[in-house]
């Protein structure tokens, strides 16, 4: 993957992410979007799944890219140097030796 692609993923994550503890020993990264195409781009490169959520009007239906555990850690380590907004938040989820 090129540095430009990783930077794109970091920018997308900075604006559309959610990261939280998932069970006691891992965490879950999700990125929400009303358009599926950029999430497919992320899934092809880092794995994971894409979920669909039908929402009540006036809200739009959304897609959610989800990765957990090892794949999530690899993704976060890759994008960390490029993050502008959520770098401190991501560091909370990575072991010190991976930062």
The residue-averaged pLDDT of 3-32 equals 86
| Residues counted in the chain | 99
- pLDDT for the residue numbered 98: 72
pLDDT digits (tens, 9 = 90+) for 66-79: 999 889 999 999 99
Query: Which run of H or of E encompasses 17?
Result: strand 17-22
CATH superfamily of 3-90: Homing endonucleases (3.10.28.10)
Of the pLDDT bands very low, low, confident and very high (cuts 50, 70, 90), residue 25 is low
- Between the alpha carbon of residue 24 and those of residues 10, 47, 94, 96, the distances in Å are 26, 22, 14, 18
Residue ranges covered by each domain of the chain: 3-90
pTM of the predicted protein model = 0.86
pLDDT digits (tens, 9 = 90+) for 28-65: 899 999 999 999 999 999 999 999 998 888 889 999 99
Query: Which run of H or of E encompasses 63?
Result: strand 62-68
Provide CB contacts within 8 A for 60, sequence distance 6+.
34
């Amino acid at each position: 993957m090129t540095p430009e692609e990783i930077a794109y993923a970091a920018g997308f994550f900075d604006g559309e992410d959610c990261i939280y503890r998932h069970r006691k020993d891992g965490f879950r990264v999700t990125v929400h979007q009303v358009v599926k195409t950029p999430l497919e781009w992320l899934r092809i490169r880092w794995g994971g799944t894409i979920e669909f959520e039908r929402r009540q009007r006036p809200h739009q239906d959304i897609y959610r890219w989800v990765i957990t555990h090892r794949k999530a850690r690899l993704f976060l380590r890759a994008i960390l140097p490029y993050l502008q907004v959520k770098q401190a938040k991501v560091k909370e989820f990575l072991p010190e030796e991976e930062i």
